Amino acid sequence: MGKTGQVVRVGRRLGRGARTAGTHHTDSGGGCGRAAAATSTGRGAETASTPGSGGIAGAIGVFGSLGISSRGVKIIARARDTATKDAARRTSAPLGDAVGLFLDDLARYPLLTAEQQVELAQRIEAGDDEARQRMITANLRLVVHWARLYQDRGVDLGDLVQEGTFGLMRAVDKFDWRRGFRFSTYATWWIRQALQRAVHNTGQSIRLPMDAAERSRRVDTARRELAVELGREPDDEELAEAAGVTRSQLSDLRQAARVVASLDQTVGPDSETSLGELVAPAGEAFEEEVDAAIGRDQLRRAVESLSPLERDVLWLRFGLDTGQPASLENTARRLGIGVRRARQVEGDALRRLATFPELESLLLAA
């Protein structure tokens, strides 16, 4: 059974548990499922999707539209080594000041309570642009937090903030307040996806070392000159000798010069189908993945608040770790208890879980 299936199956059982829970309510102290989403150090903002909007200029444009001054954007875009506070202290003093200035800008926008998030989400759903802007600016910290964690992967921090902001804006537009998710938890998935995509796309770019780039230039020049002189394309030996490179170096340069296909290119000479049409859209699939992942996380937190025996029974019965649900008899045997006791513990655990408002999304999914 897949992970999404596990969540839905538990959701169905929770639905039955909720109907029989009556007035019972359990407060387990830890309140797994009540854990606050990580917003204490996060920051956020959106990516412009127009060509040429990358880097500092693009980030300034995005933040400018949200009322954020360009000063902080310019400074933080040049802060290359701020993954941790220690790293910031090891670099020059202006680095710490730069981050501080930018965060001071963001500090003008207070964090939202859960109730305020729902209220804004409802207004956004009704087409309120002012509410959308407030939701974005109040969560800018989340983007900066995650962007700093990804900055050592070959992408400029300013670009990461810009890409992460695009993810935040997507989250604002896609957020369904009826599902019971905290917005910051939901937005984190979109922000991280945007950052991972930025890192991945940058990794696809071909960056040759300076000496290799110079050899490549010499090879291209020699090829053109020999083609004119010989009246044909030179062979590898002629080309390598004229360019002053070895045959091995010539082979390496060819390997590096990979062809990048346009998504507008047709798949064949007699076809009207483009490569882009064959690429499956990731939007809906990712939304389902986000919903399932958040549901699993909420379920895990709630289950961890149960007693050890209740937790063990549910892990086995629903296969929460293996994906393979165990029968009641097998569960009882593995835990060294009777079948009747296992059934009783399972029922008690489900009734307790049904009192968690954070698991409302599982009931809706079921």
pLDDT at residue 262 greater than cutoff 60: no
In this predicted model, what pLDDT tens digit does every residue of 133-167 receive, in sequence order?
889 888 888 888 888 888 777 777 778 888 888 88
Alpha carbon distance 227, 242 (integer Å): 12
Most confident of 43-57, 272-286, 327-341: 327-341
Do 227 and 103 fall into the same domain? no
> What CATH number is attached to the domain comprising 79?
1.20.120.1810
Do 221 and 85 fall into the same domain? no
Residue 44 burial class via C-beta count within 10 angstroms: exposed 0-12, middle 13-18, buried 19 and up: buried
Task: Decide if 296 is inside a domain.
Answer: no
Do 169 and 121 fall into the same domain? yes
Task: Decide if 222 is inside a domain.
Answer: yes
pLDDT at residue 332 greater than cutoff 80: yes
Distances (CA, A) of 125 to 62, 118, 130, 131, 191: 22, 10, 12, 10, 21
In this predicted model, what pLDDT tens digit does every residue of 87-124 receive, in sequence order?
433 333 343 444 456 566 676 777 788 888 889 999 99
Residue 45 pLDDT? 38
pLDDT band at 253 (very low <50, low <70, confident <90, very high): confident
Percent of the chain with pLDDT over 90: 9
Do 6 and 103 fall into the same domain? no
Residue 152 pLDDT? 72
Residue 33 pLDDT? 36
Do 75 and 180 fall into the same domain? yes
Q: What is the rounded radius of gyration, in angstroms, for the C-alpha atoms of the chain? A: 28
pLDDT band at 294 (very low <50, low <70, confident <90, very high): low
Residue 173 is encoded by which pair of tokens? 């537009």
Residue 89 pLDDT? 38
> What CATH number is attached to the domain comprising 345?
1.10.10.10
Residue 343 main-chain phi, psi, to 5 deg = -65, -40
Distances (CA, A) of 2 to 8, 296, 344: 10, 11, 26
Picking from 24, 35, 8, the residue whose alpha carbon sits closest to that of residue 348 is: 24
Q: How many structural domains does the chain have?
A: 3
Task: Decide if 5 is inside a domain.
Answer: yes
Do 144 and 198 fall into the same domain? yes
Task: Decide if 40 is inside a domain.
Answer: no
Do 217 and 171 fall into the same domain? no
pLDDT band at 2 (very low <50, low <70, confident <90, very high): low
Residue 75 pLDDT? 34
Give strand ranges (E) for the chain: none
Residue 97 pLDDT? 47
CB 206 within 8 A of CB 258: yes
Alpha carbon distance 129, 131 (integer Å): 5
pLDDT band at 293 (very low <50, low <70, confident <90, very high): low
Task: Decide if 29 is inside a domain.
Answer: no
- Domain that includes residue 229, residue range: 210-257
pLDDT at residue 342 greater than cutoff 60: yes
In this predicted model, what pLDDT tens digit does every residue of 60-93 receive, in sequence order?
454 455 444 443 333 333 333 333 333 433 333 3
Task: Decide if 268 is inside a domain.
Answer: no
Do 176 and 220 fall into the same domain? no
Do 129 and 224 fall into the same domain? no
Task: Decide if 65 is inside a domain.
Answer: yes
Alpha carbon distance 165, 169 (integer Å): 6
Query: Of the candidates 183, 204, 225, which is a domain's last residue?
Result: 204
Query: Of the candidates 193, 226, 257, which is a domain's last residue?
Result: 257
Do 219 and 199 fall into the same domain? no
Do 173 and 244 fall into the same domain? no
Q: Which residues contact 297 (CB under 8 A, 6 or more apart)?
A: 185
- Of 109 and 259, the structure prediction assigns the larger pLDDT to 109
> What CATH number is attached to the domain comprising 245?
1.10.10
Residue 289 pLDDT? 54
pLDDT at residue 327 greater than cutoff 50: yes
Residue 82 pLDDT? 32
Residue 32 pLDDT? 37
Average pLDDT of the chain, as a whole number: 66
Residue 76 pLDDT? 35
pLDDT band at 290 (very low <50, low <70, confident <90, very high): low
pLDDT at residue 335 greater than cutoff 60: yes
Helix or strand (DSSP H, E) at 57 = helix 55-65
**CA atoms in the 13 A half-sphere facing the CB of 249:** 19
Residue 344 pLDDT? 92
Query: Of the candidates 204, 228, 246, which is a domain's last residue?
Result: 204
Query: Please, which residues bridge with residue 171 across strands?
Result: none
Task: Decide if 273 is inside a domain.
Answer: no
In this predicted model, what pLDDT tens digit does every residue of 350-360 receive, in sequence order?
888 777 655 55
Do 242 and 134 fall into the same domain? no
Write a three-state SS string for 253-306. HHHHCCCCCCCCCECCCCCCCEHHHHCCCCHHHHHHHHHHHHHHHHHHHHHHCC
Per DSSP, 327 falls in state P
